[in-house]
Amino acid sequence: MSGSTSSPDDVSRETPPAPAEAQGVFGSRLPLAEEFCRLLATEGVVRGVIGPREAPRLWERHLLNCAVVHERIPRGVTVADVGSGAGLPGLVIAIARPDLTVTLVEPLLRRTSFLEEVVAALDLDNVVVTRARAEELLGTRHFDVVTSRAVAPLGRLLTWCVPLVSPGGMMLAMKGSSAAGEIEAAARELRRLRRYGPGEPEVLQAGTGVVEPVTTLVRVAVVGAGG
């Protein structure tokens, strides 16, 4: 990968090995996940895409935690990952599920440059990187599934993501123990989005028996006519 201003050698030794659970999640594509982990722990840290303290715990805290989201995604659909950042969860999902077409939506050039280089390095033909804010795609793009992780409170996420969901699709937001409280706090935003036909938010889990704690998701199905 090009474009770094300093050597990643000082952090490369922190690249953690894949845990046993990773084989079950990624299968034959585990080498791609391992290379992504290496790139995150080296170039990703050097270029400020991920913090250096995260490098030793990339698998448990980030890669596996994100990858298990694919359990809740149907086969062969289009996915947009809003505020993709370092490619979490979108890029990890795309590695685990080559049947999906994944668009990584990220406004910052530093991050989109990194993502584009990772996609090229891993030869991921099911991933597109789009430099934009979610609001800039409203009315022009629709996806079967819209994912997000640690981007904004649920109310704001609903405003950004629900209009991007195709009729019959869903929004999947990675959340922690605050999920139920965020759903209550987002009631007003949900009402404002009635014309898109969102259903009631529900809390789901993914990764049972794979990650601890399990990954908590808020799912909002969209049944209306879309934006």
Residue numbers belonging to the annotated binding site for S-adenosyl-L-methionine = 83, 88, 134-135, 149
Tokens of 118: 């990772």
Is the pLDDT confidence value at 136 over 50? yes
Q: Is the model's pTM score more than 0.75?
A: yes
Residue 5 lies in a domain: no
HSE-up of residue 152 (Cα within 13 Å, Cβ side): 15
Residue numbers belonging to the annotated binding site = 83, 88, 134-135, 149
Tokens of 217: 């998701």
Residue 226 lies in a domain: no
CATH of the domain at 121: 3.40.50.150
Q: Which tens digits make up the pLDDT trace of 149-166?
A: 989 999 999 999 999 999
Residue 181 lies in a domain: yes
Q: What is the mean pLDDT of residues 131-146?
A: 96
Is the pLDDT confidence value at 7 over 90? no
CA gap 139, 130 in Å, rounded: 16
Residue 4 lies in a domain: no
Residue 2 lies in a domain: no
How many domains, in total, are found in the chain?
1
Residue 216 lies in a domain: yes
Residue 107 lies in a domain: yes
Q: What is the pLDDT of residue 14?
A: 63
Phi and psi at residue 196, to the nearest 5°: -90, -10
Task: Give me the domain span that covers residue 135.
Answer: 12-221
